[in-house]
Amino acid sequence: MLSKQNRLDRVGVKKTFEIGSFFRGKACIARSLPSSEVHIAVSVPKKVAKTAVTRNRLRRKVYQLAGKHPLFNSLHHDVVFSLNKVDIGSIAEDIDICFSQLTK
């Protein structure tokens, strides 16, 4: 699980959606904005998972995948992941591609 200091707050999410750049993957859309340190938020709409239990499980899994990624500490961006599929394998690939593009 990702610590509270690495999570993006409501104001940061709004700012990232308004002026951030985006990456479209197979299972998610990642919006990013450069910052002094890494902050991450995850959005799982009801269209993807009907129950709150499933949405929260997906959210926790994405936080876990992002926090354990080798490029996580070298990333200096605010990132918001919006999931559009339940497939964890595709989400992991999208996180990997997104982080590698942001660290270039």
Q: Name the burial class of residue 51, with classes exposed (0-12), middle (13-18) and buried (19+) by CB atoms within 10 angstroms of its CB.
A: exposed
pTM: 0.89
Q: What is the dihedral of CA 27, 29, 34, 39, to 10 degrees?
A: -60
pLDDT per residue as tens digits for the range 6-42: 999 999 999 999 998 989 988 999 999 999 989 999 9
pLDDT per residue as tens digits for the range 53-94: 999 999 999 999 998 998 888 889 999 999 998 888 889 898
Domains parsed from the chain with CATH numbers? 4-102 (3.30.230.10)
pLDDT per residue as tens digits for the range 34-47: 999 899 999 999 99
Point out which residues pair with 81 in neighbouring strands. Answer: 30, 42
C-alpha closest to that of 43 among 21, 67, 13:
13
Asked if pLDDT for residue 104 goes beyond 90, the answer is: no
